[in-house]
Amino acid sequence: MACEFDFEETYGERGKEYIEVHHVVPLSSQEEQVQVNPYTDLITLCANCHRMIHRKKNEILSLDELRQIIRIQRRTKQYENPSRSRSRDLRFHRA
């Protein structure tokens, strides 16, 4: 996970055990059919993070790149408004 979003916490029973799966190497970039190893070739992401990784078709982000963006954004928000707690930031993100 990149952002620690919890579907069950936000959506209750409807969100329980929900997550999206992302192929580390996009299938569309494979010239031939490959066998996918779920332990090394797939990662779990919330829907928003999955969309952000694929936001720019010619610039697909790695998990580490996305995490770095999230860290920078969270630090910037905390610096701009130090009275906001991390939990309030997450509630805002989930709205």
Q: How far apart are the first and last CA of the chain?
A: 19
Question: How high is the pLDDT of residue 87?
Answer: 53
pLDDT category of residue 77 using cuts at 50, 70 and 90: confident
Closest by CA to 45, choosing from 66, 26, 25, is 66
- pLDDT higher than 80, residue 18: yes
Q: Kind of pairing, strands 20-23 and 42-45?
A: antiparallel
The whole-number pLDDT of residue 83 equals 65
Task: Tell me if the pTM is above 0.85.
Answer: no
